[in-house]
Homo-oligomer: A and B are copies of this chain.
Amino acid sequence: MPSSEFDIIQRYFTSAVSERDDVVHGIGDDGAVLHVPIGMDLVVSIDTLVSGVHFFADVDPAALGYKALAVNLSDMAAMGAEPAWATLALTLPTVDASWLEAFSRGFFELAERYGVQLVGGDTCRGPLAVSVQMHGFVPQHAALRRTGAMPGDLIYVTGTLGDAGLALHAVQNHRRLPEAHAHYLTGRLERPSPRVFEGLALHGIASAAIDISDGLAADLGHILTASGVGATLNVERLPVSRAFIATAQGDDCWQLPLSAGDDYELCFTVPEEKQAKAEQVFARFGCGAMCIGIIEPQPGLRCKRASGELLVPSTSGYQHFEPVST
């Protein structure tokens, strides 16, 4: 069993993952020394997952290790950045070798898929929490941002929406998902696919981009606010999976694709004159990309049915703090 912080880090987090040429010195000193390629800017994102807030305390540690990295890779995707290096701050109530082995296995499974090297870490005792920071590269002045959407731009999303929300809803309400779809839907919640290659393909196409962590309405709302525009969505066009259609029940199940978080798809805007080129590029996406609405000058988000009926999203997305009164 490990007897100190240093042993833990050494044992589970300096595994023989692909050594990147741009890592001058990795784990083992007061800081990592890293080389950013000439002509590239550095993109940095950070996300923390806390037990009881972002996941259940009895979470599968391999799924947690995977997801902690996935949510940060999704930020890289939203910026059009090529992921490179990660750091990990892990707070643990106890040292549990099998837990750590599974956590690091999930983490490195995804890290290796995207050529990401862990270059630093901090392990300490305390309530279970995972903070991952990602570093990636974008060509100078080419980062995808939230600010560039213009009236007339078309709004797209990758993949399908609402799957993770449906799986979470089942867990929270102690409902069993249909056997035929449980594996797929639970996988969408626990092991989302960050759209890294799709994000890289959006250079020169997208005018603005964000990843959907808090729900489409909330995250598209950030693009609208940052860009000083509004939008109308065609609710019937929101892409949903066959598993979602077969499983979702109730008159308000359309709320999930609009408001549920955790899908980690990309939402982005495309100027009309680039639509033809864009559709060519999207045809190569395994996950697809669907046009779901249009940017308008009038502020606010309008969610319309084909009938013209206006719908109101049930919440403004997942808030990490409940509103408090003064």
Residues of A within 8 A of B (CB): 1-5, 8, 24-25, 28-36, 38, 41-48, 50-54, 75-76, 78-79, 81, 85, 87-89, 91, 94-95, 119-127, 129, 131, 133-136, 138, 140-141, 143, 145-147, 210-211, 226, 319-321, 323-326
Contact = CB atoms under 8 A, between A and B. Distances in A.
A4 B323 contact: yes
Contact of A24 (B41, B45, B50, B120): B41
Given A29-B143, A35-B42, 10 more contacts: A4-B323, A30-B45, A30-B210, A30-B211, A31-B79, A31-B134, A31-B136, A33-B42, A50-B124, A125-B320
Given A31-B76, A34-B43, A91 B123 contact: no
A233 to B, nearest CB: 21
Contact of A126 (B41, B78, B129): B129
A31 B51 contact: no
16 contacts: A1-B325, A2-B321, A3-B319, A3-B321, A8-B321, A29-B146, A31-B43, A31-B79, A46-B87, A46-B89, A48-B91, A48-B122, A53-B126, A87-B133, A95-B321, A123-B320
Contacts of A54: 124
B320 A3 contact: no
B119 A44 contact: yes
Contacts of A135: 44
A4 B321 CA distance: 6
Contacts of A33: 41-43, 79, 138, 143
Which of A1, A31, A33, A91 has the most chain B CB atoms closer than 10 A to its own CB? A31
B5 A320 contact: yes
A42 B34 contact: yes
A135 B147 CA distance: 26
Contacts of A79: 29-31, 33
A41 B34 contact: yes
Nearest to A51: B126
A135 B123 CA distance: 19
A320 B323 CA distance: 35
Given A42-B42, A127-B127, A28 B226 contact: yes
Contacts of A226: 28-29
Contacts of A122: 46-48, 131
